[in-house]
Amino acid sequence: MSSVEEVRLSLPHIELAAHLFGPEDGLPVIALHGWLDNANSFARLAPKLEGLRIIALDMAGHGHSGHRPLGAGYALWDYAHDVLQVAEQMGWKRFALLGHSMGAIVSVVLAGALPERVTHVALIDGVIPPTAAHDNTAERMGMALQAQLDLQEKRKPVYSTLDRAIEARMKGLVAVSREAAELLAQRGLMPVPGGYTWRTDSRLTLASPLRLTDEQAMSFVQRISCPAQLVVAADGMLAKHPELLERLPFSREQLPGGHHLHLNDESGAALVADCFNRFFAVP
């Protein structure tokens, strides 16, 4: 495996941890992982990508990165702002985005909002945020506000051994392989009295107070002006929504595997890498 460099970025508003891969003169890429994951989501894929200078972030509230201050939230546009600040720090006027799941959604939001900044969009099993009809907006916000209040009473689970924590991650909301769970746990767990718990900010489990309508979400997709490639996992999340896939103007490739196909095993990572190497090589 090629070497990876651990870096910390002191942004004006938060400190983020990240992994750097690839040649210094490679095409600039900011890689964004999925919900409750971390930079190790790209541990298998990034070394297989050619000619790219990849900075894989621990997004705010995840892995070794800082948590947002009390009273702040984790909206998609807040992550998009973080990415822009990372680009400033790296001195990158233009850059590509590589995103998995929630990271793919943030990539679409940013590439649609500021299309002139983004050179390529490479997406793994994620496109737009879950949408909602506008008639239940007030009710949804009420539930989200109440959940914020109730969170103060909740405590994170503590696992007596690393093994138990890894097993819990394997069986999480989205199941992953043992190797994937171990990689995510490396950056995701911290010791506490009585064992281990996840470093992630508990506020990440809260429902979003505001969901976009379908038209609003698709407006980001439609405004993307750079080449875009979407990898759909055959047993993942997007394959269940063929009607959404048909509406996307992106190049699309379906590959075998689950939602974390780029991380679950070496063969899945190699298939995704092959697809993206072809995508990034097109002049």
What is the C-alpha separation between 70 and 56, in angstroms, rounded? 25
Reduced to 3 states, what is the DSSP secondary structure of residue 25?
Answer: coil
Q: What is the DSSP letter of 206?
A: S
Cα(188)–Cα(209) distance, rounded to whole angstroms?
26
| Pairing relationship of beta strands 118-124 and 189-192 according to DSSP bridges | unpaired
Q: Give residues with Cβ within 8 angstroms of 77, minimum separation 6.
A: 109, 113
φ and ψ at 65, to 5 degrees? -80, 160
Catalytic residue among 41, 65, 101, 107: 101
For 145-202, give the DSSP string.
HHHHHHHTT-----BSSHHHHHHHHHTSSS---HHHHHHHHHHHEEEETTEEEE-S-G
Beta partners for 118?
A: 95
The tokens describing 112, both together, are: 């649609």
Cβ density class 13-46: b for 16+ within 10 Å, e for less: ebebbbbbbbeeeebbbbbbbbbbbbbbbbbbbb
Q: Has 65 been annotated as catalytic?
A: no
Please list the active-site residues.
101
